[in-house]
Each structure stands twice: as C-alpha cells, then as structure tokens.
C-alpha cells in the first residue's frame, strides 16, 4: 500500500465535511420549525441557504483537486445532530427549548469551524490557492453564524428560558 500523504488526509477531511454539510442541510429546517422565537427561525433558515452555497463551494474544491464530490460518514456530526434531536424531543413546549436549539447549533458551528480551519491551512500547505479562498469564504460564514447564535442566546432565547412560564 502506498504511503498516505497530506493530500490523502485533505481529501478524507473534505469528504467528512461534505457529508456533514449534507446532514446539516437536512437538520436546519427541522430546527427552524422547532424554534419558538422568530429570530431563531430566521437564523436557521438563513443558515440553511448559506449551507447550500457551502456545499457548492465544496464541490468546487473537489473539482480543483480532480476528485468526484463524495461524502464519507461523519460520526461526529451524526452524534451532534442526534443530541439536537433529543433536545427538540425532550424540551418540546418548554421555555428552555430555544436555548437548547441554539446550544446544539453552536456545537454544529464549532465542529464546522474546526474542520474548515484545518482544511484551509492544509490547502495553503498544499499550494491550493483557489481552495484556500473557497474554504475561507465558508469559514467566515460559520464564524459569523456562531456569533449570531451567541447574540441570540444572550438576548432572545436564554433570558426567557431561565424563567418559568407564567
């Protein structure tokens, strides 16, 4: 067997995040439906649209390295989404639901930020200049989304979640 290189690891990780983004694309509308606050709903739907663009960017990166766009099962994202579904189930109708949704969404964002940060730095090392730009564009969107979620958590969702319904 040929020795594995950073190119192999880059491709492997690209497949991991491609799979993850597809799962996230399916989860976001469910989270939007579950959200009690309008800001939360809007944020999840906006990010669903961004995610479609992010999948296209990933397809472009696959093209740049001459590989077919294919996902590889990512157990990490499966676990994070399973936890989100558990929260939607267990906190349905409760004042803490939105706080739970935001916390799940932030776990997703942090996973993505980790992956895109790594992929961007590997693309740089591998001299894939165009891929660096594509990966960075998505990384910036994930960082902005994370900040938006922090704001939502501090303003709309959590203060209500800390009080019992009157």
Rounded to a whole number of angstroms, the minimum distance from the CB of residue 32 to Fe ion is: 14
- Of residues 94 and 106, the one with the C-beta less far from Fe ion: 106
- Of residues 56 and 154, the one with the C-beta less far from Fe ion: 56
Q: Under the phi-then-psi rule, with left for phi > 0, alpha for psi from -120 to 50, and beta for the rest, what region is 93?
A: left
Rounded to a whole number of angstroms, the minimum distance from the CB of residue 129 to Fe ion is: 22
- Of residues 33 and 92, the one with the C-beta less far from Fe ion: 33
Rounded to a whole number of angstroms, the minimum distance from the CB of residue 162 to Fe ion is: 26
Number of residues in the chain: 166
Binding site for Fe ion (CB under 5 A): 51, 54, 112, 142
Q: How far is CA 152 from CA 123, 135, 139, 143, 159, in A?
A: 33, 26, 20, 14, 10
Residues 27 and 80 sit within 8 Å (Cβ to Cβ): no
């Amino acid at each position: 067997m040929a020795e594995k290189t950073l190119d192999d690891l880059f491709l492997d990780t690209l497949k991991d995040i491609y799979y993850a983004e597809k799962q996230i694309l399916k989860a976001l509308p469910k989270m939007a439906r579950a959200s009690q606050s309008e800001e939360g709903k809007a944020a999840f739907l906006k990010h669903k649209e961004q995610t479609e663009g992010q999948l296209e960017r990933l397809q472009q990166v696959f093209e740049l390295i001459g590989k077919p766009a294919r996902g590889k099962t990512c157990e990490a994202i499966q676990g994070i989404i399973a936890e989100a579904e558990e929260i939607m189930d267990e906190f349905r109708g409760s004042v803490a639901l939105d706080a739970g949704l935001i916390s799940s969404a932030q776990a997703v964002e942090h996973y993505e930020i980790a992956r895109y940060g790594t992929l961007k730095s590997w693309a740089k090392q591998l001299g894939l200049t165009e891929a660096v730009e594509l990966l960075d564009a998505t990384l910036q969107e994930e960082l902005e989304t994370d900040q938006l979620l922090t704001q939502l958590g501090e303003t709309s969702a959590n203060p209500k979640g800390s009080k019992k319904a009157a």
